């Protein structure tokens, strides 16, 4: 926790101006029972290690979350990153809150507001990225389903082709037999006409 001591009233002169420039804060101290939290921590890994949360370092590395992004995470964001334990999320949110509090006290409201604006923009970009990833997953699912159906159609077309070939193998002999019968009847018809003509000539001669 941070213990903040306020001045009762600003003093005159140079000292008074210094007090006003420092937003009337006389001194800021942190508890000796926990690590010092300031804006000079070199990385998210070292910060999590200091607070006994090093087990989550691989999780944040997997999600490409660095210190700057971590400072803009909400409880919902931590859940999406895979931090399911309530106690761990509360501890992380407390770290984030203290970080911004300390940044405001040491850097002033303008710098702090600028950082908050950047963090908000980063958060919005992360949300857009998450939506894009979700849309991509949905598109990939549709593509997989279409490929599956295409393979099924291809398999069915092959089966239909084989069935058609088998049917043709049965139909072709029947067609040949029908052609033979057609030729036979044609020859027989010619024979009848021929015999009819011969009979007529024989009858006329007699």
Least confident of 22-31, 158-167, 186-195: 22-31
* Domains held by the chain: number: 2
In a domain, 166, yes or no: no
Band of pLDDT at residue 125, cut at 50, 70 and 90: confident
Residue 11 lies in a domain: yes
In the predicted model, is pLDDT for residue 11 greater than 70? no
Do 45 and 76 fall into the same domain? yes
Instruction: Determine the average pLDDT of the residues in 163-172.
Output: 69
Q: Is pLDDT of 74 > 80?
A: yes
Residue where the block lists tokens 């990225």? 129
- pLDDT band at 14; cut points 50, 70, 90: very low
117 and 87 inside one domain = yes
For residue 179, pLDDT beyond 80: no
Residue 197 lies in a domain: no
Give the residue-averaged pLDDT of 84-93: 88
* Separation CA 116–CA 179 (nearest Å): 92
Domain range enclosing 120: 36-137
The residue from 118, 137, 156 where one domain ends is: 137
Q: Which residues contact 103 (CB under 8 A, 6 or more apart)?
A: 39, 111, 112, 115
């Amino acid at each position: 926790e941070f213990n903040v001591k306020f001045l009762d009233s600003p003093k005159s002169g140079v000292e008074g101006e210094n007090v006003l420039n420092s937003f009337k804060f006389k001194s800021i101290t942190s508890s000796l029972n926990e690590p010092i939290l300031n804006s000079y921590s070199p990385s998210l890994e070292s910060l999590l290690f200091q607070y006994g949360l090093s087990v989550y370092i691989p999780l944040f590395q997997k999600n490409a979350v660095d210190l700057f992004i971590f400072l803009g995470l909400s409880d919902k964001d931590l859940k999406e990153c895979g931090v399911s334990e309530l106690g761990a999320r509360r501890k992380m949110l407390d770290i984030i809150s203290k970080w911004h509090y300390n940044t405001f006290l040491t850097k002033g409201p303008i710098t702090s507001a600028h950082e908050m604006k950047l963090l908000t923009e980063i958060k919005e970009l992360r949300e857009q990225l998450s939506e894009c990833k979700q849309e991509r997953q949905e598109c990939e699912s549709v593509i997989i389903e279409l490929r599956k159906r295409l393979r099924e159609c291809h398999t069915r077309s092959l089966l239909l082709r084989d069935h058609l070939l088998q049917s043709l193998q049965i139909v072709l002999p029947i067609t040949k037999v029908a052609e033979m019968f057609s030729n036979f009847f044609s020859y027989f018809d010619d024979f009848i006409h021929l015999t009819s003509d011969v009979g007529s000539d024989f009858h006329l001669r007699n």
